[in-house]
Amino acid sequence: MDIKYFRLIKTIKEEGSIANSADKLFLTQSALSHQLRELEERLGFKVFHRKRNKWQLTEEGTELYKMGNSILDSIEKGFQNIEQLRTGSVGSVKVSTECYSFYQGLSSFIQKMGILYPEIVVDLILEATHQPISKILSNEIDMAIVTQKPVNESLSNIEVYEDEIFAIVHDENPLSRVEFLEADDFSNVHLIIHSFPLETVSVYDRFLKPNRITPLKISAIPLTEVALEMVDANMGIMCMPKWALKSFKLSDNLAFKRIGRNGLKRTHYLVFRKADRDKKYINDFIANFEDDFSK
């Protein structure tokens, strides 16, 4: 039975007649009479008794009225729920990282989010780099990519992916001939990093510092292409994961060497406030981030 008939029955019952119902349903009295006659012919019984200016439901009509109210109420609640979901889908997500190299690949992800979820605005907050956890806690950003689980109880995290950092050296560099680099191999090298402080440089924080090794020279070169040119000129070595170099044209003179016998591996976590987990747009962002970066 078409929904329009339930609306017709409900309106006539509550307005008292077809004449009073016409304006409510934005139809002429003739059109409403036609609809009601068509319904009664299809059902095989009368829905209303016509008594001068007062229309009363038959017993069968009363049951249809009750049924219609239930159906229409259910539909209305359904649309209200959908509207709440749509409202919850709108929001802004501010993202940062603990290391500049993590921004590689984020631009294409944000572009994809803009197409699939135009109601979610994603902003990269570069100023929060190196201190993303404190910025999340102060509500200056919403999410961050880090390599250590936060210990704060108000934060939650999901493990996204694991990568490995390699030393990139010129093939004329003596280090290009070793199977893997040990901590002592860094003692006399010129180490090219993206930026200070050193504690944010994975190879230093996770490999050199525990072994009490400080390279002979350390230079911060924020542009990856310039750092690669310096390595290609055999002016130093740099350490990065291979995925962060996919968009660059690499010289045939460069060699990738493992750091340590078992490699220098990192697990990446997406961190966010627990209180935000009930927001639909936050969950949409997290689900898509996992889908993109866990592959």
Which H helix or E strand runs over 228? helix 224-232
- Output the CA torsion sign for 286, 289, 294, 295: positive
Quick one: pLDDT at residue 119?
87
pLDDT tens readout for residues 37-65: 999 999 999 999 887 777 889 999 999 99
In the structure encoding, which two tokens stand for residue 111, read together? 């572009």
Question: Is there a contact between 104 and 243 (Cβ–Cβ < 8 Å)?
Answer: yes
Contacts of 182 (CB under 8 A, 6+ apart): 260
For residues 194 and 227, give the distance between their C-alpha atoms in angstroms, rounded to a whole number: 8
Spatial CB neighbours of 274, under 8 Å, sequence gap ≥ 6: 154, 155, 156
pLDDT-based confidence at residue 187 (cuts at 50, 70, 90) = very high
pLDDT given at position 249: 93
Helix, strand and coil content of the chain, in percent to the nearest 5, comes to: 45, 25, 30
Between 278 and 158, the higher pLDDT residue: 158
Give the separation between CA 13 and CA 271, rounded to whole angstroms.
56
Domains of the chain as residue ranges with CATH = 3-88 (1.10.10.10), 162-266 (3.40.190.10)
Task: State the average pLDDT for the chain.
Answer: 92
pLDDT band at 267 (very low <50, low <70, confident <90, very high): very high
Report the predicted TM-score, pTM, of the whole model to 2 decimal places: 0.70
Q: What's the average model confidence in pLDDT over 258-279?
A: 95
Three-state secondary structure readout of 92-140: EEEEEECCHHHHCCHHHHHHHHHHHCCCEEEEECHHHCCCHHHHHHCCC
Nearest alpha-carbon partner for 186 in 223, 238, 108: 238
The string of pLDDT tens digits covering residues 147-180 is 999 999 999 999 999 999 999 999 999 999 999 9
Q: What percent of the chain has pLDDT over 70?
A: 97
